[in-house]
Amino acid sequence: MNDVSGQTLIFGCGYLGRRIAGLSIRDGNEVWATTRQTAKKRDLAGLGIRPILADWSDRRSLAALPEVDRIVVCVSYDRQSNLSRLDSQVGGLRNLLLAISPKTTICYVSTTGVYHQLGGQWVDEASPTHPAREGGRAHLMAEELLHRLRPHSEWTVLRLAGIYGPGRVPRAADVIAGRPIASPQDGFLNLIHVDDAAKAVRAAWQRPKQRLYVVSDDQPVLRGQFYEEIARQTGAAAPRFVLPTAGSPVSMRSESNKRVWNRRMKRDLHSKLQFPTYREGLASILQS
């Protein structure tokens, strides 16, 4: 089993990436992180991270990447960019894989959005994946790049459920303010607290032999129950629901209806979650 110490490079040092960096620094790692904006370099440096100006859609900017033991890829799609999801997320990962040593361990953060199931079925690592949404298709194609370009290297793919945590609780402000929620009440949400997600990434460094895990908490929850719990914990009125506009991003997300089974993750990576269900996670955020 690999040690967690060493040198780490994070591509996509945002909400999740910064927590991964914090864990890595506490482990005694030297941590680099990329940013495309000069203004963010000082911010990263203030967290004890060594910032690197790089844009993985530009191969030239990858020429001076440091030699590290592992790279964590948790890049979110930038809707303000002039690139498509495929050009950014798939093309960018291809550029990165071609620029680094085959000895470098990769942890690629994917999404449970690769699953297409709509009938409340349980899904796990062996379930079929035929994503209808562009984001899920891009992540699935990126996963396939690892198989194709690094067949003998060490890597792990983590398909994360919806990340929530401090400052990021879906629709909490609307529930507290009494605004109607544009979402159906039925259909399951699969969630993972950002701190548990970061710990799963850290644990994956120790098991990098081309493995796949879904990362979710222990209890999928119906959408209506999730928003009702926000109201209960904050003393707000019971939420009201309206149907989202047909064809809107909210409507498309609401069509997803599956339950993620985290058995393999609990067995190999993260046996005891800090926030095993949405109730504990919401309590730590909303009542602080």
- Residue 108 lies in domain: 7-222+248-286
* CATH at residue 156: 3.40.50.720
Q: Which residue is it, tokens 């967290």?
A: 47
10 Å Cβ neighbour count for 1?
A: 7
8 A C-beta contact, residue 89 and residue 133: no
| Predicted confidence pLDDT, tens digits, the chain (288 residues) | 445 668 999 999 999 999 999 999 999 999 999 998 888 899 999 999 999 999 999 999 999 899 999 999 999 877 777 788 888 889 999 999 999 999 999 999 999 999 999 999 999 999 999 998 999 999 999 999 999 999 999 999 999 999 999 999 989 999 999 999 988 889 999 999 999 999 999 999 887 787 999 999 999 999 999 999 999 999 999 999 998 777 666 656 667 899 999 999 999 999 999 999 999 999 999 987
Collapsed DSSP state (helix, strand, coil) of residue 280: helix
8 A C-beta contact, residue 55 and residue 99: no
For residues 51 and 66, give the distance between their C-alpha atoms in angstroms, rounded to a whole number: 11
229 inside domain: no
33 inside domain: yes
239 inside domain: no
What is the reported pLDDT for 154?
93
Q: Which residue is it, tokens 């994946």?
A: 129
What is the reported pLDDT for 1?
41
Residue-wise DSSP of 157-202:
EEEE-EEEBTTB-TTHHHHHHTPPEES-S-SEE-EEEHHHHHHHHH
For residues 155 and 103, give the distance between their C-alpha atoms in angstroms, rounded to a whole number: 10
For residues 95 and 85, give the distance between their C-alpha atoms in angstroms, rounded to a whole number: 15
280 inside domain: yes
Tokens describing residue 103: 């000895």
Give per-residue pLDDT as tens, 151-201: 999 999 999 999 999 999 989 999 999 999 988 889 999 999 999 999 999
162 inside domain: yes
Q: How many domains does the chain have?
A: 1
Residue 214: strand pairing partners:
159
For residues 231 and 238, give the distance between their C-alpha atoms in angstroms, rounded to a whole number: 6
242 inside domain: no
For residues 130 and 117, give the distance between their C-alpha atoms in angstroms, rounded to a whole number: 8
238 inside domain: no
Please enumerate in sequence order all residues whose Cβ is within 8 A of that of 177, keeping only pairs 6 or more positions apart, or say none: none
What is the reported pLDDT for 88?
85
Collapsed DSSP state (helix, strand, coil) of residue 263: helix
Specify the pTM.
0.93
Residue-wise DSSP of 97-141:
HHHS-TTSEEEEEEEGGG----SSEEE-TTS-----SHHHHHHHH
Q: Which residue is it, tokens 């109607």?
A: 180
279 inside domain: yes
Alpha-carbon dihedral angle through residues 184, 190, 193, 194, given to the nearest 10 degrees: -100
